[in-house]
Amino acid sequence: MDLDQLNETACAMVAPGKGLLAADESTGTIGKRFASIDLENTADNRRDWREMLFRTEPAMSQYVSGVILYDETIRQKAKDGTPLTKLIEAAGAIPGIKVDTGAKALAGSDGEMITEGLDGLRDRLADYYGLGARFAKWRAVINIGRNGDESMPSQYCINTNMHALARYAALCQEANIVPIVEPEVIMDGDHSIERCYEVTEFALKTLYRELFDQGVILEGTILKPNMVISGTKNDDRASIEEVADMTVQCLANCVPAAVPGIAFLSGGQSDEEATAHLNAINDGYDLPWPVSFSYGRALQHAPLMAWGGQPANVAKAQAAFNHRAKMNSLAALGEYDAAMEKELAGA
């Protein structure tokens, strides 16, 4: 393990004003996104969509530090034969790879999930390193019970998922790949922001205990958490300021200062909500780590709608991606203002 290399990569992933593009949707998940624009889910369409994003400037060289890829994508070539990883590197960004194989039903539990993918992971990581990956992602899924049911998440669900995250992280570091550890407390549900705080705290405290027990070196990791936020079906929605306050309080209580950076997931927030929350977190708090974005939907939704699968719309889609990437870059610096949303060139 080369700790200097790991730490250098982790710091580059959260460089000032930069964050990650999560483009690691499984074939099934991207199929759902394509269905929303009535586009067939073929390997060529997946390539065209992602190639267009990876060729977008200045987004890729100025605002995106790295891209999380899916197994198909890290092996895929652009239309002109250039590997997609080379397009990312040419822009000065770092290729990364999702290595979990998805969340499955947790045995003996009704409605909880366990993330799989540890079998054969050491060999897969060596393969991915050879293909250019310098960081990886593993996402644990933590559901919150409905109607005030506090039995979910169970201790069993938290322990098994955080144990698996630490096993993954240790294997990544052995392979000189920075592990993004992602314990996602899911936003779906009728829970309050206070309940989200409790569950996020439970997950993060357990995660850092497991990382310690398994010898994972925090200086060579990145945390990808959810924000502390009201459930999507809770009518009493917390304000931007409350989300920022409670998220910062929760992270300050759980995440050691040795962690090189935090990059949030968007988790189903609207594009502008995800940006406004990130900005509020970076504006007015004295944080021990850089705090940035690792957004999937909140970066891709606008360009996907602008593209609609039509080659004639590439310029519009790239303008939409440039805009969202720039807004999130400003938010990572605490310099965003909602009035800037009107700047979109050509809109």
- Shortest distance in whole angstroms from residue 312 CB to ligand 13P: 27
Q: Is 32 exposed, middle or buried (0-12, 13-18, 19+ CB in 10 A)?
A: exposed
Q: How many residues does the chain have?
A: 347
C-alpha of 178 from chain center: 14
Beta carbon nearer to ligand 13P, 67 or 80: 67
Binding status of residue 298 toward ligand 13P by CB under 6 A? yes
Query: How far lies 242's CA from each of 45, 230, 271, in Å?
Result: 40, 10, 18
Beta carbon nearer to ligand 13P, 250 or 304: 304
Coil/strand/helix, residue 52? helix
Binding status of residue 33 toward ligand 13P by CB under 6 A? no
Is 224 one of the annotated active-site residues of the chain? yes
| Residue 102 to residue 38: CA distance in whole angstroms | 25
Residues 117-176 that bind ligand 13P (CB under 6 A): 139
**253: amino acid identity, one letter:** N
Q: How many CB atoms lie within 10 A of CB 222?
A: 28
- Shortest distance in whole angstroms from residue 139 CB to ligand 13P: 4
Binding status of residue 266 toward ligand 13P by CB under 6 A? yes
Beta carbon nearer to ligand 13P, 179 or 296: 296
CB 84 within 8 A of CB 78: yes
Is 182 one of the annotated active-site residues of the chain? yes
Binding status of residue 95 toward ligand 13P by CB under 6 A? no
- Shortest distance in whole angstroms from residue 235 CB to ligand 13P: 23
In the complex, which residue's CB is closest to ligand 13P?
296
Task: Please report, as ranges, the residues that interact with ligand 13P according to CB under 6 A.
Answer: 22, 139, 182, 265-267, 295-298
Catalytic site positions: 182, 224
